[in-house]
Amino acid sequence: MQQQIDADQVRKVAKLGRLELTDAEVEAFTEQLGAILAYVEKMNELDTTDVEPLAHCLPISNVFRDDVVGPSLGTDNALANAPQRDGSFFKVPKILDDSSGA
Protein backbone atom coordinates (compact mmCIF):
# COMPACT_ATOMS: atom_id res chain seq x y z
CA MET A 1 0.00 0.00 0.00
CA GLN A 2 1.71 3.16 -1.20
CA GLN A 3 0.96 6.17 1.01
CA GLN A 4 1.17 9.55 -0.62
CA ILE A 5 1.16 12.88 1.13
CA ASP A 6 -0.13 15.98 -0.57
CA ALA A 7 0.32 19.71 -0.04
CA ASP A 8 -3.00 20.00 1.83
CA GLN A 9 -1.83 17.46 4.42
CA VAL A 10 1.46 19.33 4.85
CA ARG A 11 -0.44 22.60 5.33
CA LYS A 12 -2.72 20.92 7.89
CA VAL A 13 0.22 19.56 9.90
CA ALA A 14 1.96 22.94 9.70
CA LYS A 15 -1.18 24.64 10.99
CA LEU A 16 -1.42 22.17 13.88
CA GLY A 17 2.22 22.92 14.69
CA ARG A 18 1.57 26.67 14.38
CA LEU A 19 4.09 26.90 11.54
CA GLU A 20 3.84 29.40 8.74
CA LEU A 21 5.19 27.86 5.55
CA THR A 22 5.74 29.45 2.18
CA ASP A 23 4.50 27.69 -0.95
CA ALA A 24 8.08 26.68 -1.71
CA GLU A 25 8.46 25.15 1.75
CA VAL A 26 5.16 23.29 1.41
CA GLU A 27 6.34 21.87 -1.91
CA ALA A 28 9.73 20.86 -0.46
CA PHE A 29 8.22 19.27 2.65
CA THR A 30 5.63 17.42 0.57
CA GLU A 31 8.44 15.88 -1.44
CA GLN A 32 10.58 15.10 1.64
CA LEU A 33 7.73 13.60 3.66
CA GLY A 34 6.69 11.54 0.64
CA ALA A 35 10.23 10.15 0.44
CA ILE A 36 10.17 9.30 4.16
CA LEU A 37 6.85 7.47 3.80
CA ALA A 38 8.18 5.57 0.78
CA TYR A 39 11.24 4.51 2.80
CA VAL A 40 9.09 3.32 5.70
CA GLU A 41 6.90 1.43 3.26
CA LYS A 42 10.00 -0.23 1.81
CA MET A 43 11.11 -1.25 5.33
CA ASN A 44 7.66 -2.75 5.98
CA GLU A 45 8.37 -5.26 3.19
CA LEU A 46 11.12 -6.90 5.27
CA ASP A 47 10.38 -10.17 7.02
CA THR A 48 11.16 -9.60 10.70
CA THR A 49 9.40 -12.63 12.20
CA ASP A 50 12.62 -14.13 13.62
CA VAL A 51 14.20 -10.83 14.68
CA GLU A 52 14.15 -9.96 18.38
CA PRO A 53 13.11 -6.41 19.27
CA LEU A 54 16.02 -4.17 20.25
CA ALA A 55 16.30 -1.27 22.64
CA HIS A 56 19.69 -0.35 21.19
CA CYS A 57 21.62 -1.37 18.11
CA LEU A 58 24.80 -2.14 20.07
CA PRO A 59 25.18 -4.95 22.63
CA ILE A 60 25.41 -2.68 25.70
CA SER A 61 23.35 -2.39 28.84
CA ASN A 62 23.41 -0.21 31.92
CA VAL A 63 26.47 1.85 31.07
CA PHE A 64 26.02 4.01 34.15
CA ARG A 65 28.78 4.85 36.56
CA ASP A 66 28.68 3.52 40.12
CA ASP A 67 27.10 5.75 42.73
CA VAL A 68 29.94 6.90 44.93
CA VAL A 69 29.52 9.29 47.83
CA GLY A 70 31.79 12.28 47.41
CA PRO A 71 32.32 15.63 49.05
CA SER A 72 29.32 17.91 48.85
CA LEU A 73 28.76 21.64 49.08
CA GLY A 74 27.30 21.62 52.58
CA THR A 75 24.18 23.39 53.84
CA ASP A 76 25.85 26.65 54.91
CA ASN A 77 27.66 27.09 51.59
CA ALA A 78 24.57 26.14 49.58
CA LEU A 79 22.42 28.67 51.43
CA ALA A 80 25.08 31.39 51.71
CA ASN A 81 23.51 33.60 49.00
CA ALA A 82 19.87 32.68 49.67
CA PRO A 83 17.72 35.82 49.95
CA GLN A 84 15.76 34.16 52.74
CA ARG A 85 16.22 30.94 54.63
CA ASP A 86 14.36 28.98 57.27
CA GLY A 87 16.92 26.99 59.21
CA SER A 88 18.56 24.65 56.70
CA PHE A 89 16.03 25.33 53.93
CA PHE A 90 15.47 27.97 51.25
CA LYS A 91 12.47 30.14 52.11
CA VAL A 92 10.35 31.00 49.08
CA PRO A 93 7.12 32.94 48.64
CA LYS A 94 3.90 30.98 48.83
CA ILE A 95 2.38 30.57 45.36
CA LEU A 96 -0.62 28.37 46.11
CA ASP A 97 -3.37 29.20 48.54
CA ASP A 98 -5.31 26.69 50.62
CA SER A 99 -8.24 26.65 48.14
CA SER A 100 -6.08 25.60 45.17
CA GLY A 101 -6.42 21.89 45.93
CA ALA A 102 -2.71 21.30 45.34
- What band does 87 get if pLDDT is binned at 50, 70 and 90? very high
39: domain CATH number is 1.10.20
- What band does 2 get if pLDDT is binned at 50, 70 and 90? low
| 31 within a domain of the structure (yes/no) | yes
Strands (E), 53-100: 85-86, 89-90
Q: Residue 13 belongs to what H/E stretch?
A: helix 7-16
Which residues share a beta bridge with 77? none
The pTM of the full predicted model, rounded to 2 decimals, is: 0.48
Query: Dihedrals φ, ψ of 86, to 5°?
Result: -130, 95
Query: Dihedrals φ, ψ of 25, to 5°?
Result: -65, -40
| 27 within a domain of the structure (yes/no) | yes
In the predicted structure, residue 100 carries a pLDDT above the cut 90: no
| 32 within a domain of the structure (yes/no) | yes
What residues contact residue 1 under an 8 Å CB cut-off, 6+ apart? 41
